Amino acid sequence: MSKFHYGVFVGRFQPLHAGHEAVIRSALEQVDTLIVLIGSSGQARTPRNPFTCAEREEMFAKVFKHELTTGRLILKPVSDHPYSDAAWCAEVQRAVNETVLADYNKGGVVLHGLQDIEIALAGYGKDRTSYYLKLFPEWGNVQLASQYGTFSSTDVRRQLFQRIPVISRSVLSAGVVEWLEAFVLTETFRALLEEAEYLDAYPGQWGRGPFVTVDAVVIQSGNILLVERGQAPGKGLLALPGGFLDPSESIKDAAIRELKEETAISDHKGEIPPAMLASFIDGTKTRVFDHPDRSLRGRIITHAFLFRLPERRELFSVTGGDDARSANWHRLGDLKSEQFFEDHWSIIQLMADL
């Protein structure tokens, strides 16, 4: 019997490599059951997060089939909350609590709380992304010496996303290699490669920033106004109407200009003039979103404005314009995080109080 009933290990596993495997096997020696939380789940694919949660689970199944079958290893998805550590902690706590109760109760002993269950967070302080190890003081700690080897998932992806992909067999298990060999033959890989090439070239053309942008969160009668991006990056994904600040305008004027250019928002009298759009802005909700990793293009800081339009059965008409493929109203309750470009879903959640 181990000192801890359950261990918790968090990672993105983009993709699962030998370093992750070594950490997981080390943790399994110190806990009865290891819960692996697959981070950055429910996001649109990007060159940084190219694999869905289901695909990463397939990689785990190829490497840890016995551990998964016997229940010693349990996989659960968790989403990103880049602007709220508290929200992320709450999601992790819920995922662990629900998993432990469901798993432990299978043994016939019904638990209603976790008072008698010893849980430990497993990990190593490899870099700034491991700050989460300090966010759960209620759990014990299983300290692992260090990451196996000198590589990371970033190195694996860098070799993968090339015109002639290189699959790093020296740091990937045979099952993961097999999975990736099939993946690089798909249209999904082709689209991700094109986006990776665009992002690699972006700093040479535009610099690394910091850049200032604006985004419009436009709400009317339980619907939100969104555009579909017509070009890279994020081609085909949903996004807030917005864009870069011009040198000669204020940030608020830029938000109104971008809203008009990308949606041609109109009422029964025609396109709504800037002054009227400005009157719809809820000044108490204006917010800066500046997570350092919010965009793969570079350091981009955006200012979001909440436009509260009058409630009515017939929504204002919109038409996609500028670099937006289309503009449409979407019911807030129908949207999913994986449909969105960059951090726009996080912005909507915070601005619209979802």
Determine the average pLDDT of the residues in 100-104. 87
139 and 232 fall within a common domain: no
pLDDT tens track for 270-289: 999 999 999 999 999 999 99
Average pLDDT over residues 35-54: 97
The confidence score (pLDDT) of residue 144 equals 73
Same domain as 236, residue 334: yes
Looking at residue 346, which CATH number applies to its domain? 3.90.79.10
In a domain, 196, yes or no: no
**Which among 112, 92, 93 is positioned nearest to 102, based on CA atoms?**
112
- Residue 230's domain comprises 211-351
The answer for residues whose C-beta is within 8 angstroms of residue 322's C-beta and 6 or more apart is 243, 258, 261, 262
Whether residues 11 and 78 share a domain: the answer is yes
133 has pLDDT over 70: no
Percent of the chain with pLDDT over 70: 93
* Res 129: pLDDT: 45
Residues β-bridged to residue 4: 31
In a domain? residue 197: no
Quick one: average pLDDT of 292-301?
95
Number of domains into which the chain is organized? 2
More confident residue, 307 or 3: 307
Six-digit token pair at 77?
């998805």
Which of 110-119, 128-137, 151-160, 236-245 has the lowest average pLDDT? 128-137
Residue 297 shares a structural domain with residue 149: no
Which carries the bigger pLDDT value, residue 128 or residue 48? Answer: 48
Same domain? 179 vs 95: yes
Kindly report which listed range (105-109, 176-180, 189-193, 291-295) carries the lowest average pLDDT score.
Answer: 105-109
Residue 111: the pLDDT is 61
Mean pLDDT of the chain: 92
Question: Strands across the sheet with 140-143, in order?
Answer: 73-77, 31-38, 4-11, 119-123, 140-143
Q: Are residues 173 and 266 in the same domain?
A: no
Answer left, alpha or beta for residue 108, where phi above 0 means left and psi between -120 and 50 means alpha.
left
Span 157-185, average pLDDT: 97
Terminal C-alpha separation, the chain: 43
Give mean pLDDT, residues 105-125: 74
- Is 324 part of any domain? yes
The answer to the question of residue 198 being in a domain is no
Same domain (yes/no): 33, 179: yes
Residue 190 resides in a domain: no
CATH number at 95 reads 3.40.50.620
Tell me: do 134 and 16 sit in the same domain. yes
* Residues 89, 102 contacting (CB under 8 angstroms): no
Shared domain for 156 and 224, answered yes or no, is: no
With a cut of 70, say whether residue 225 has pLDDT above it.
yes
pLDDT of residue 127: 47
User: Whole-angstrom Cα distance, residue 73 to residue 75?
Assistant: 7
| Cβ-proximal residues to 16 (8 Å cutoff; 6+ apart), any chain | 56, 59, 60, 63, 172, 173, 176
Q: Which residue has better confidence, 3 or 60? A: 60
The pLDDT value recorded for residue 107 is 61
- Domain match, 33 and 178 both: yes
| Residues 35 and 174 occupy one common structural domain | yes
Give the distance, in angstroms, between the CA of residue 182 and the centroid of all CA atoms in the same chain. 24
Residue 109: what pLDDT?
61
